[in-house]
Structure 1
Amino acid sequence: MKSREMVVDTIRTLKLLSKWGANMAVGRRRPVIAVFSMTHYCNFYCPMCPFGDADKEGQIVLARRKDLTTEQWKTVFDKVSSHCVWSIIEGGEPTSRPDFMELVRYLHSKKMPITLITNCSLLHTIDLDELKKYIQFVTCSIDSVFEEPYCKVRGVTPQTYRRVMDNLQLLTEHKVPHYFNSVITKYNTQEFIDQTYFDRAKELGANAVSFTFVEDRSDVDYSLLPDRETMNKVCASILDYMGKKKEPQVMIPPEYFQQILQDGRGHFDECGVWKSIFVNGNGTVMVPCWKFNSPENTYSLLEHSVDEIWSAPQWDIAKTCHDCEVLGCIWYSSQPVTTFARNYMRGLGKMISKERPELAEAV
């Protein structure tokens, strides 16, 4: 087995990026990142997530009826791997699938680097030493690092919180690369305002963190977004931390928080949702995204090719849609190349500062 550092096939990546650039040059848009929502089931109850449904028995029935089989997912991986340079496995809760490791191994065989997004509650059931052979990172979905707000945001018991904390320790003990991703809601703002989130994240083994404000769902009648004054306090505190601390590294660029602080939302000229292919648990892709969920906007990857789906006329919707005001993944994918470059250089500088302090000033 090759070491983890050898997983990323540089030649494959360069070829696909060259192909992607050639498509762009002739006005042909294609995805470059793959997101696989492996199952309709999740064992958590997060109110900001459609998988947080309280009817877990019904959700299990739905997953059994609609989730792709092992072989169907492999077919999807085959189709998507010829386009995308990176893959993200998420859910529902992907580790709840009995064939989780088989699918990870197969995706790895397609030479697609893998990021696993998980709530970490089931990691103790997985061979972590084997897992780290196939993935690049585990993204730990940790919306609060403290018990009370964690349980409130995620709808789980203190026992579940403690299990997750124990599993984070397992990741550290088994040297599985991981970082935290947190959704900022009205329930967990204080730890960002007083910056205790960062110290606690370091204690829990995270050397990098990413976060975004919650984007309220259109299918519910409640809001989880903090009020504007509180959002401003959160943004100002995070920017202050980014300016004076190097660890844990904040992965989302400061421009995101600067724009929200100034205008209450993120800015972008055109939505970049088309750069990623998001495959639902039943193998469908919604064009251009989940906000436009209707039969005429839904395409099955079992029946259509990626080229066919990305030639659909509904992608024109994304050219003028600015509905997502604070959703970090949409904001990030919609930014100009200069934003990516600046963030890359900041990250590079922090890594060099840690390993070779005498060279840090040159970056």
Structure 2
Amino acid sequence: MVVDTIRTLKLLSKWGANMAVGRRRPVIAVFSMTHYCNFYCPMCPFGDADKEGQIVLARRKDLTTEQWKTVFDKVSSHCVWSIIEGGEPTSRPDFMELVRYLHSKKMPITLITNCSLLHTIDLDELKKYIQFVTCSIDSVFEEPYCKVRGVTPQTYRRVMDNLQLLTEHKVPHYFNSVITKYNTQEFIDQTYFDRAKELGANAVSFTFVEDRSDVDYSLLPDRETMNKVCASILDYMGKKKEPQVMIPPEYFQQILQDGRGHFDECGVWKSIFVNGNGTVMVPCWKFNSPENTYSLLEHSVDEIWSAPQWDIAKTCHDCEVLGCIWYSSQPVTTFARNYMRGLGKMISKERPELAEAV
């Protein structure tokens, strides 16, 4: 699918006009399709060990197919890009129906998945509707992968096989890794990059884990190890080898120098993050309370983005190393120079017909 450039330009013009009068609105849509995930990642709230209870929760709280379509209708008039994630989005029986519908709204789609269920999906059909698959591959080696993700070696091998399927079906994909104390060595010795290339990834992206406030353990590496990771990734980026690192070097430079990323004001408002039950937490998940939670089935995007709680984002700097928050809070020039260049390089290899649109 060729990106609808005219639609994108119109929405960006609308977004710019809102900004000019001080009216902030989202430009990226993130749809958390379900409360269920078949993995046990300790850094993620969907990694709950009680999977039977999680299935019950998903059946009770997940939006229906028609409700998600209503949400897509509302959000598509604002956002230039969409991201489908979870829980594990491919676990929904109506996954492909929802992808088709979102595609019909002319919303370019990125799918974020743990890749364990891709063998159950028609990948040739999927690539008609999405731009990229973001593969959550925290480690490319069996032992640390299983430790970070809380899964068996059999699951690891299934994921590796499914990555091969993506390559065989020519589905554009890149890897994203959350760096925890369990998987630092492969970034320090740079073996992650060679293995990622072998597995078909032309680009990779990273973030250090941001420890959850609702648990009594830390997954963040110690400062000395973080510095080694940052120095090694910066060294790799300087070599300009493939796979391309999609997050800007400034992220790693700032953590190396000061132990955290820098931004003047949190940019979380630039994305609308819709939970599996259709709610939006304002300004973000760290402020999860009834008074900060709005249903997108009951309210418009304009109503939610006019809520007073967004003022919290002007002064909140709680997220010290979370890459997505750091990224959204950077100047537009940083985003354009690094992210679009990275995507452009990947697209030119996987889908040359899209290169000009990006």
Q: Into which bin does the TM-score normalised by the smaller protein fall?
A: over 0.9
Summarize the Cα distance change of 1:294–1:196 in structure 2 as closer, same or farther, 3 Å threshold. Answer: same
Looking at structure 1, the residues matched to 107 and 140 of structure 2 have their Cα atoms a distance apart, in angstroms, of 31
Summarize the Cα distance change of 1:251–1:319 in structure 2 as closer, same or farther, 3 Å threshold. Answer: same
Looking at structure 1, the residues matched to 306 and 351 of structure 2 have their Cα atoms a distance apart, in angstroms, of 48
- 2:137 is the alignment partner of 1:142: yes
Q: CA deviation at 1:8?
A: 1.1
Deviation sequence 1:244-282 (CA, Å, 0-9, x none): 132000000000000000000000000000000000000
Deviation sequence 1:120-139 (CA, Å, 0-9, x none): 00000000000000000000
Looking at structure 1, the residues matched to 356 and 272 of structure 2 have their Cα atoms a distance apart, in angstroms, of 38
SS at match of 1:139: strand
Summarize the Cα distance change of 1:119–1:347 in structure 2 as closer, same or farther, 3 Å threshold. Answer: closer
Partner of 2:114: 119
Deviation sequence 1:3-29 (CA, Å, 0-9, x none): xxx431100000000000000000000
Contact 2:3 2:357 in 1 (8 A): no
Looking at structure 1, the residues matched to 352 and 107 of structure 2 have their Cα atoms a distance apart, in angstroms, of 33
- Determine which of 96, 104, 129 is the counterpart of 2:99: 104
Looking at structure 2, the residues matched to 163 and 266 of structure 1 have their Cα atoms a distance apart, in angstroms, of 35
Looking at structure 1, the residues matched to 78 and 182 of structure 2 have their Cα atoms a distance apart, in angstroms, of 39
Looking at structure 1, the residues matched to 212 and 29 of structure 2 have their Cα atoms a distance apart, in angstroms, of 23
Contact 1:235 1:257 in 2 (8 A): yes
TM-score by length of 1: 0.95
SS at match of 1:278: strand
Q: CA deviation at 1:339?
A: 1.4
- 2:90 is the alignment partner of 1:95: yes
Deviation sequence 1:278-315 (CA, Å, 0-9, x none): 00000000000000000000000000000000000000
Contact 2:267 2:313 in 1 (8 A): yes
- Determine which of 220, 233, 238 is the counterpart of 1:243: 238
Contact 1:7 1:134 in 2 (8 A): no
Looking at structure 1, the residues matched to 92 and 357 of structure 2 have their Cα atoms a distance apart, in angstroms, of 47
Q: CA deviation at 1:353?
A: 11
Q: CA deviation at 1:102?
A: 0.1
SS at match of 2:356: helix
Q: CA deviation at 1:107?
A: 0.1
SS at match of 1:34: strand
Contact 1:7 1:111 in 2 (8 A): no
Summarize the Cα distance change of 1:243–1:360 in structure 2 as closer, same or farther, 3 Å threshold. Answer: farther
Looking at structure 2, the residues matched to 284 and 342 of structure 1 have their Cα atoms a distance apart, in angstroms, of 33
Deviation sequence 1:12-53 (CA, Å, 0-9, x none): 000000000000000000000000000000000000000000
Q: CA deviation at 1:343?
A: 1.4
**Mapping of 1:38-57 within 5 angstroms?**
38-57=33-52
Summarize the Cα distance change of 1:361–1:172 in structure 2 as closer, same or farther, 3 Å threshold. Answer: closer
- Determine which of 336, 343, 347 is the counterpart of 1:341: 336
Summarize the Cα distance change of 1:316–1:94 in structure 2 as closer, same or farther, 3 Å threshold. Answer: same
Deviation sequence 1:62-119 (CA, Å, 0-9, x none): 0000000000000000000000000000000000000000000000000000000000
Q: CA deviation at 1:340?
A: 1.9
Deviation sequence 1:138-197 (CA, Å, 0-9, x none): 000000000000000000000000000000000000000000000000000000000000
Which sections of structure 1, spanning at least 5 residues, go unmatched? 1-5
Contact 1:271 1:333 in 2 (8 A): yes
Q: Alpha carbon RMSD of aligned pairs, Å?
A: 3.0
Which sections of structure 2, spanning at least 5 residues, go unmatched? none
SS at match of 1:46: coil
Q: CA deviation at 1:238?
A: 0.1
Summarize the Cα distance change of 1:193–1:362 in structure 2 as closer, same or farther, 3 Å threshold. Answer: farther
SS at match of 1:117: strand
Deviation sequence 1:190-231 (CA, Å, 0-9, x none): 000000000000000001000100000010000000000000
Contact 2:115 2:159 in 1 (8 A): yes
- Determine which of 225, 230, 236 is the counterpart of 2:225: 230
Summarize the Cα distance change of 1:145–1:16 in structure 2 as closer, same or farther, 3 Å threshold. Answer: same
Summarize the Cα distance change of 1:348–1:274 in structure 2 as closer, same or farther, 3 Å threshold. Answer: closer
Contact 1:246 1:350 in 2 (8 A): no
SS at match of 1:18: helix
Summarize the Cα distance change of 1:137–1:351 in structure 2 as closer, same or farther, 3 Å threshold. Answer: closer
Summarize the Cα distance change of 1:243–1:346 in structure 2 as closer, same or farther, 3 Å threshold. Answer: farther
Q: Which runs of 4+ in 1 moved over 3 A?
A: 344-363
Looking at structure 2, the residues matched to 352 and 168 of structure 1 have their Cα atoms a distance apart, in angstroms, of 18
Summarize the Cα distance change of 1:44–1:273 in structure 2 as closer, same or farther, 3 Å threshold. Answer: same
